[in-house]
Copies of this chain bind each other. A is one copy, B any other.
């Protein structure tokens, strides 16, 4: 007998316990070689005063087994409770959200019968770092952060996934026509890594058009890799047009730990009624079995599930007089799947996860490259300008304060308002004053941090409220910042 793989299991809140019982019963019947450790996370833990919702004992189990199968949980309203998923993602470095999306028409209503795509979403960066600042009465800011290792890791993961799962194409979505540096980096790294996988097709789409195509023509996609926010949006779009929001599982993958869950929530309104559909968690369990290298069991369960669907044994959420034969509850649905273990679907293509094909995918990004020569060449100083000094007045006050740096341009919301601005009613409250060591970006000289500190001190002396700074660097002579619109 095989040695059982320890896994950590969280029964969750709302409908969580019911669907987990159904799923565990199925795993057991299919003879999955797993040794579950049960942890308690979620609502009870939050309400006991632990704002993370996850006690030390639970952490220990997860870190030991490195595999978590998790039911949905309920985060109580208010009170500074932190999202358990965000905490786990960040703390455990679960950099990849992997979400297969399949349509099951005609048994589950969808305009598309052949959706079979996988979204690989970057999980740690982008605007979701939640770094926000209010610099003036009226102006709020959020930082979008994108790193090269972050891009390398997720994109490498997408291509490795495509190769292992015999997928043909990876599509990258970004908005690099507008965000030339951040999204530009993502696209550039995509091109670099795609070149290492000549057996996999690749393409890049601008995210607006890409999202529209996922909505209107989802069958054209295979693997999609994208940044965090876009991935969030397209995951919902794809699940919705496939009709599979209630049926889909999702994996959050790190190089050490992986977490598997349904994509739906804890639905407290129907909890305890034995009517919830356990399919989302069952699909998560299938992903988990593949991950822990039990592909035969995954195949067995997925085919039995497909056969159950085809046979019209449906929970209420997908019941239709036309395509259903019997409306069942959570337990009866699980029993129906168990009764079909060993059977194959006839309408749908049978699943077949090849033995030995899914050694865990670990991605550490490219080897560090030679560092560029980094040179400080100026600074953007942002001002709160509550008296609405005109850009002309401002420039008069500060143009002489830069020491070795000259005032090059003043902008507002990225738009040049000095010099030579043709804007009739510029927004003056929040200004960015760009000082560079030379007006000509081809003649930039190094300046020092002291030069910037001196500038800030002089601006402070004349009573200006400098609210933030962004140093301006070149890397191997290339600008590390965008030019202002109109600069």
Chain A contacts to B: CB under 8 angstroms: 59, 82, 86-87, 90-93, 111, 124-125, 127-150, 175, 178-183, 185, 207-209, 211-216, 229-230, 232-233, 235-237, 239-241, 256, 371-372, 374, 380, 384, 386, 411, 413-415, 422-425, 427, 429-430, 432, 449-450, 452-453, 456-457, 460, 465-473, 475, 480-482, 485-486
- Smallest CB separation, A304 vs chain B (Å): 29
By the criterion CB–CB under 8 Å, are B427 and A147 in contact?
yes
Give the number of copies in the complex.
2
By the criterion CB–CB under 8 Å, are A414 and B137 in contact?
no
- Smallest CB separation, A139 vs chain B (Å): 5
A466 CB contacts on chain B under 8 angstroms: 449, 471
Which of A130, A142, A386, A469 has most B Cβ within 10 Å?
Answer: A142
By the criterion CB–CB under 8 Å, are B450 and A453 in contact?
no
A475 CB contacts on chain B under 8 angstroms: 134, 137
Q: In the complex where A139-B145, A371-B137 touch, is A132 in contact with B427 (Cβ < 8 A)?
A: no
Complex Cα–Cα for A411 and B200 (A): 37
By the criterion CB–CB under 8 Å, are B481 and A133 in contact?
yes
Nearest-neighbor residue (CB-CB) of A429 within chain B: B147
Nearest-neighbor residue (CB-CB) of A213 within chain B: B240
By the criterion CB–CB under 8 Å, are B241 and A215 in contact?
yes
Besides the known contacts A132-B481, A216-B240, A449-B466, 13 further A-B residue pairs in the complex with CB atoms under 8 A apart: A87-B485, A129-B415, A132-B182, A133-B181, A141-B145, A208-B233, A208-B235, A212-B237, A213-B240, A233-B233, A449-B465, A467-B473, A468-B469
Q: In the complex where A182-B141, A456-B453 touch, is A132 in contact with B469 (Cβ < 8 A)?
A: no
- A-B residue pairs, 6 tightest by C-beta: A129-B414, A134-B480, A215-B215, A212-B240, A132-B181, A212-B236
Complex Cα–Cα for A404 and B482 (A): 35
Nearest-neighbor residue (CB-CB) of A59 within chain B: B422
A480 CB contacts on chain B under 8 angstroms: 133-135
Complex Cα–Cα for A308 and B360 (A): 59
18 A-B pairs (CB sep. < 8 Å): A125-B413, A127-B175, A130-B179, A131-B414, A131-B432, A132-B181, A137-B372, A138-B149, A139-B146, A140-B185, A142-B146, A147-B413, A208-B233, A208-B236, A211-B236, A456-B456, A467-B470, A468-B469
By the criterion CB–CB under 8 Å, are B93 and A178 in contact?
no
Q: In the complex where A133-B481, A178-B128, A233-B207 touch, is A147 in contact with B139 (Cβ < 8 A)?
A: yes
Complex Cα–Cα for A240 and B210 (A): 11
Nearest-neighbor residue (CB-CB) of A463 within chain B: B449
Which of A91, A134, A208, A480 has most B Cβ within 10 Å?
Answer: A134
A415 CB contacts on chain B under 8 angstroms: 90-91, 129
Q: In the complex where A175-B229, A413-B145, A453-B457 touch, is A137 in contact with B422 (Cβ < 8 A)?
A: no
Select one of B129, B429, B485 contacting A413, CB under 8 A. Answer: B129
- Smallest CB separation, A120 vs chain B (Å): 16
Nearest-neighbor residue (CB-CB) of A232 within chain B: B208
- Smallest CB separation, A362 vs chain B (Å): 12
Complex Cα–Cα for A133 and B386 (A): 26
- Smallest CB separation, A347 vs chain B (Å): 22
Q: In the complex where A140-B182, A141-B182 touch, is A485 in contact with B82 (Cβ < 8 A)?
A: yes
A425 CB contacts on chain B under 8 angstroms: 93
Nearest-neighbor residue (CB-CB) of A239 within chain B: B212
By the criterion CB–CB under 8 Å, are B450 and A460 in contact?
yes
Q: In the complex where A93-B425, A138-B148, A141-B144 touch, is A482 in contact with B212 (Cβ < 8 A)?
A: no
